[in-house]
A and B are shown apart, each in its own frame.
Chain A
Amino acid sequence: MAQAAPPGMNEVGSAHESSRGKLFARSLPFVSVVLLVLLPLLHPGPEIIRLLFITLVWITASVAWNLIGGFGGQVSFGFAVFYGLGAYTTALALNHGISSWIAFPLGGFVASLASLLVGLPTFRLRGPYFAIATIGASEAVRVIMTNVSLTGGASGYRIMETGAFHQLEHFYSALALAAVVVAASILVERSKLGLALVAIREDEDAASDLGVNPYRAKLMAHSLAAALTGAAGGVYARYAAFIHPQGVFAFSISVAILLMPIIGGVGTIWGPVIGAVVYGLIHEELVASFPQLHLLLYGSLLILIVFFEPRGIMGLLGRWFNAMQRRRRLSGSHS
C-alpha cells in the first residue's frame, strides 16, 4: 500500500543517505530478534528475562490493537476482554493436559469468537459511541468472569503444569509470538484489508462509496487483533501460573494496550513496538515509585502526546531525522 510519507520526510537527504537509512531501518528488526535469541548466552539473570518477557507480551498486544485501532481508526477500550479470555482459555486447556502449542492458538480462537460478539453490535456505532460501547462490553465480561465458579470466580485460577519451570521456554514463546504479530501487521498493512482499513479511518462513507464494505473490514481486523491479543494473554497466563479477573480483565490492561501504540506512533508498523518497549520498561518502575499516581501519569502522558505529537515517538524521530538531514545539507552547502 502506497501510504504517503509524512510532510518533509521525503524531501531532504541524498539518495545515498536515504538508502543507508532504509537499510538500517530494515535490518534493525532482524538484528533485534537475533540479539534477543542470543541474549540468554550472556546469562542476564531471571529478573532481566522476566522484564523482557513482559515487554514481549506487551509488544504482541500493542501491535495487535494497532491493526484495528491504528490502521482502522477504531479506538477500542475493551481489549482486556480478549487478553483475559485468551489467558483463561489457555489456563483451562493446560489444566486439561493440552499442549501449550495448542492451548495458545485455542486462547486466540476463543478471543476471536468473542471479538465477533463484541464487534457485531459495536461496529454499527462510530467514534466515541464505539469507544464507550467497548468499555461497557469489557466491564460486563469482567463482572461475569468474577462470578464464574468453573474458573474460581474472583479468587482466581491456578495452572497446575507438571514439570520444572523453564523461564527461557516462556521467553522464547513470547519472542516467537511477538515476531509473528509484527509479521502479520506488515502483511496486513500491505494487503487490500490494510488499504480498506486506512480508507475507513480517513472517511468511512467515502470508502463505502468506492466499494469498501466497512463493517466486514472492521470485523475481520478486529477478529485478527483479538486472536493475537488472546494468544498473548495465554502466553502470560502460562508464565504467571495464576490469573484472576481483576488482573487479566482489568480496565488498566485495556488502557495499557491502547496507550502503547499511541506513545510509539499509532497507525505505523514500528510505533506500537517502540511504545510497548517504553511502556514495558518504565511501567513497573512507575507503579513501584507512584503506586497511587501512575494512572494519572499515564493519563497526563496521553494528553500531552495527543496535543503535541499525535504521531508519538515515531513522529518525534521523523522530526529529528529531518532536522539532522537539513543541518547536514546546510553544513555541506557552506563548506
Chain B
Amino acid sequence: MAPILKVDRVTMHFAGLAAVREVSFELEPGRIYGLIGPNGAGKTTLLSIIAGSLRPTSGSILFEGRALGKGRAFEAVHAGIARTHQIPRPFRALSVMANVEVGASFGRKAKSKTQEGNDASRILQWVGLSHLAQTSAANLSVGDQKRLELARTLAARPNLLLCDEICSGLTASETAAVLRLLREIQQAGTTILYVEHDLKVIMSLCDHVIVMNHGSKLVEGPPQAVQNDPAVIEAYIGKNGDQVSEA
C-alpha cells in the first residue's frame, strides 16, 4: 500500500540547536501511529513540521505524493493534514459553533456548501458539545476545550490527523471518551499520528509506534516490540531500568 505520508531525512535547527535530526518514516493510510519520546525528544517540533507550521532546515515531506514543508500551515490543511494543540487554543471571542465553522469553512474543500454547514453540527454532536454550541468558547472547561480542539480540527476534513497530547490534563473518564472518539475517527478512514507521554495510552490505542530521543528516531515497530526494546527502556528510565510503565 502506498504511504499517505513520507518523512524523509527531516532536520530542524534552531540557532545551532538540532531539535530534529535526519528523521525518516512512512505512515500507511487508515492506521493509528504513536509518536513517543522523553521531554525534549523533538516530537512536537516534528509534528509542527508535518503540520506546515515550521519549515524544516533540510529533508522532505511527501503527503499523498505531494511535496509539503514550505512552512505554511494553511496549505497543509488544504492538502488534508490538520493538527490539535497540546494546550487548546480556542478563539475565545467566538461561540463553540463558530470555532468549528472556522475549520469547516477554511479546511480541506467540502463537496458542497451544505456539507460545510452539516459538518460543523454533526461533529459537535459527535464530540458531545452540541448542547454548548452557542456558548462562548471562553467559558468552556479544560475537558470541553480539548473536545472543541478536536472538533474544529476534524471539521477541516483531514486525511491525516495530528494529535499533540490531547489527553493530557484530562480525567480518566474524559481520556477514555477521547480515545473512543479517536478510534471512531480511524474507523471512518482517517490516519492518526498521535503524540503522547503516557505509554499506557499509546500501547492501548496505536497500531505502530515511533520512538524519538534527542531529536533522532530511536526505533519504530508494533507497540509490544517497542515497549520491550532495550534502547527505549534506556531512553525513558536510564540504563538500570528494568521496565517501562509510564514516562
Contact = CB atoms under 8 A, between A and B. Distances in A.
A265 B139 CA distance: 22
B91 interface: yes
B95 A213 contact: no
A32 B83 CA distance: 48
A213 B77 CA distance: 10
A210 B156 CA distance: 6
A4 B136 contact: yes
Contacts, number: 100
Interface in B36-86: 51, 53, 72-74, 77-78, 82-83, 85
B91 A209 contact: no
A318 to B, nearest CB: 14
B138 A4 contact: yes
Contacts of B101: 1-2, 195
Interface stretch (B103-111, B171-179, B194-202, B208-216): B103-111
Contacts of B97: 2
A5 B137 CA distance: 11
A211 B98 contact: no
B5 to A, nearest CB: 17
Contacts of A196: 102, 105-106
Interface size class of A (residues with CB under 8 A): 20 to 34
Interface string A203-226: 101111111111000000000000
A201 B83 CA distance: 20
Contacts of A2: 94-95, 97-98, 101, 134
Interface of A: 1-5, 7, 192, 195-196, 198-199, 201-203, 205-214, 267
Interface of B: 51, 53, 72-74, 77-78, 82-83, 85, 89, 91-95, 97-98, 101-103, 105-108, 134-139, 152-153, 155-156
8 nearest A-B pairs in the assembled complex, by CB-CB distance: A4-B136, A211-B106, A211-B77, A202-B91, A206-B89, A208-B73, A2-B98, A211-B107
